[in-house]
Structure 1
C-alpha cells in the first residue's frame, strides 16, 4: 500500500495502523465532523494519520510548516480544530496557544490495541477535509471537500490504472495535488511512494523516482520545466506525468517526448473547489500545438460550460468564463455563506433541480478540435508554481508594515509555467 524505500506497509498493515490511530483520536474526544489539524513532515505516518482521521469521521485540516504562525493560528481558529496531530520536528511551528496537541511517535496511550475499524458511520456527503487557499480580502478561505468528492476523483476512469501502480507522494499536504497522490493509488490497489521529507530538489526527485520505480506523478508546470531542462531522464521509466497549476509549455512537452518515448504527459486542470482535477488533456505525439497545451475535456461525471456574462453558452473559439459542475464540486467555503453563494451558483443546465456549478473566474475557449484552451483570468487572481494567489492578500500584508503607505502586486510571466510576483511599494510620507 505504501513505502518510503526503507519501510513498506501492506494494505492490511496500513489498515490496522489507521484503525488504531482512529481509536486513539476518538479516545481524545474527537467525534464525527470534528476538525483536526495535521502538521507533519512527509512520511508513512502522514498516510496513516489522514486515513485514520477519515475512519474516525473527523475532518482533516492540512497545515504547512512554511506557513506564518498567524496563518496557522487563523486556520485552526476558523475550523475550530479540537486537536492538532504533529511530530517532534514540526511541533515548534505551532502557535503556543494551539489546540490540544497529539505528537505521533510518542508513548502510546495505555490500553488494548484496537485494529478493527471504529465504525464512525461516515457518510458520502460528510466533510473529508478543509483546504485553505488565498483570499481576495486578505483572509484565507477554507474549501470544504466531502468523501463523495474524494471518491469521485480517485475512481475516475481517466486515470490509467496500469500507469498508476506506483504514485509519488511529494506535494505539501496543504496543496490539493496531494489528494490525487494519496487516493488514486490507494483506492485502486496501487502503491503510494512517499518521497523524503522536506523540499525536493531535482537530483533528489530524480533519485526517488528512479530507485522507487515510480510509474505516475504530479509535477507543477514550473517544476516540469526544470526537470525537463536538467534531468529529463528521471521520467524515462514513468508512464504518466500529470502537470498543471499554470500553463503547460508546448516546448517542454516536445522535449519530453523526445527524451522519454514511453511517457504520456497529461495537462490536468482544476481548482480546489472541484477536487483537484476538473479537466484533462493527454498530449498526443507528436505535439503540434501552440506555445501552451490545452486543458482539454472534462473528467468523468463532470460538466463544463463556457458562458458569457448572462450565463449563455458562447460559440466554439469564442472566449467565455469557465463554469464547472458534477461529482467533484465541493460543498463550499467554510463559514462564508455569502462567498459560497457568489461562486457556487445555480446550474441552469444541470440534470437535476438544485444542481450547482462553480464559477472559476478562468477565461477559456473551445478550440477547433473540441478542447478547452486557457485564455486568462476574469479577475486579479494568479497562479505561481501551482499555488493560487490573490495579489490583494499580499498587498494587505505589505501595507500592514508601518513604513509602507501603499502597495501594488502584479504577476510577471517569463514563459509558460514560470510566473513571478513583483511588489511595488510607496513609503509613508512621514519618512
Structure 2
C-alpha cells in the first residue's frame, strides 16, 4: 500500500520495536519522500528510548549489520559498554550494557533482577541481552540477540545472518531462522513470508554464508509470523512449530 507519494505530507517518521530493515525504510520513503526517518532503540527497562539514528541513505546501509538500520548513538548523560561472552569489555562487539539516569529501579518481582541488573566498576548496569557492534564513526549496530548464536555440528551459527541472506532472495518478504533439537545436536529451520520460493533457490543463497553440513533442513513459508503480546515476532512459537514438524 506504500504507493509513490501516498504519504507526502509526513515530515517525521519514528520507528521502534523490531530491528528496522533498510529495505523497509527505502519502501517507506517512496511513499513519504519528504519525511526524515529516525530509528529508535531502547529496552523497557531503560525507559524505552536510549539510542537514535537518523537515516542517511547509503551511509546508514554501510553502518548497519545484516541489512538493518544502525541503532545509532546513546543519549548524552548515559554510558554503555560491550561485553563479550567471556565477560571482557570490547571496543568492537558484545552484549550491550547500559547505565545512566533512565535505568529502571528493577522488576516488581525482585528475584527477576538477578543477572539482568548488575554492579560493575561502582555503577549499576542493565544487561540488554542484545549483541551490538560499534562502528568507527561512533554509531552502534544491532547484530542480534545473544541467544541467537547456536552451534550446529560444532559450527557457531549467527541466526540473524541466515535471516538476512534468505530475505535477499527474490520474493521473500521476511525470514526467521530457529534451531530445533536433532540426534546430532541442533538443526536449523527457516520460516519466511512472501511468495513461495523454491527451496533450492533459498539454499543456494544460504550456502554463501554457511558450510554445507549446517545448512537449514527446511524452508517453510507462512502467511504471517506469530506475534507475542509485545507485537514482536514470537520466536518461541516458531521454535515449537519447528520441533513439531516431521522432517
TM-score (norm 2): 0.56
Alignment-derived partner of residue 370 in structure 1 = 138
Deviations 1:61-94 (A, max 9, x none): xxxxxxxxxxxxxxxxxxxxxxxxxxxxxxxxxx
Conserved? CA contact 1:325–1:357, under 8 Å: yes
**Partner of residue 114 from structure 2, selected from 331, 341, 349:** 341
- The 3 A distance-change label for structure 1 pair 335 and 288 is closer
Displacement of 1:323 after TM fit? 0.5
C-alpha distance in 2 between matches for 1:231 and 1:256: 9
Displacement of 1:344 after TM fit? 0.5
In structure 2, list runs of 5 or more residues that go unmatched. Answer: 150-158, 160-177, 179-188, 195-224, 226-232
Greater Cα radius of gyration, structure 1 or 2: 1
| Structure with the higher fraction of residues in helix conformation | 1
- The 3 A distance-change label for structure 1 pair 234 and 277 is farther
C-alpha distance in 2 between matches for 1:312 and 1:275: 26
Conserved? CA contact 1:250–1:287, under 8 Å: no
Paired residue secondary structure (1:236): coil
C-alpha distance in 2 between matches for 1:414 and 1:313: 38
C-alpha distance in 2 between matches for 1:239 and 1:347: 42
Conserved? CA contact 1:411–1:420, under 8 Å: no
Within-5 A mapping of 1:196-215 = none
Deviations 1:150-193 (A, max 9, x none): xxxxxxxxxxxxxxxxxxxxxxxxxxxxxxxxxxxxxxxxxxxx
Q: Does 1:326 align with 2:100?
A: yes
Conserved? CA contact 1:343–1:360, under 8 Å: yes
**Partner of residue 243 from structure 1, selected from 6, 9, 15:** 15
C-alpha distance in 1 between matches for 2:30 and 2:59: 11
Paired residue secondary structure (2:76): coil
Conserved? CA contact 2:41–2:71, under 8 Å: yes
| Structure with the higher fraction of residues in strand conformation | 2
Displacement of 1:288 after TM fit? 5.5
- The 3 A distance-change label for structure 1 pair 356 and 413 is farther
Displacement of 1:341 after TM fit? 2.9
Displacement of 1:304 after TM fit? 1.6
Alignment-derived partner of residue 293 in structure 1 = 69
Question: How big is the alpha-carbon RMSD for the aligned residues of Structure 1 and Structure 2?
Answer: 3.6
In structure 1, list runs of 5 or more residues that go unmatched. Answer: 1-228, 383-390, 392-409
Deviations 1:292-324 (A, max 9, x none): 111111123222211223543213xx3211101
C-alpha distance in 2 between matches for 1:232 and 1:248: 20
Alignment-derived partner of residue 302 in structure 1 = 78
Paired residue secondary structure (1:342): coil
TM-score (norm 1): 0.34
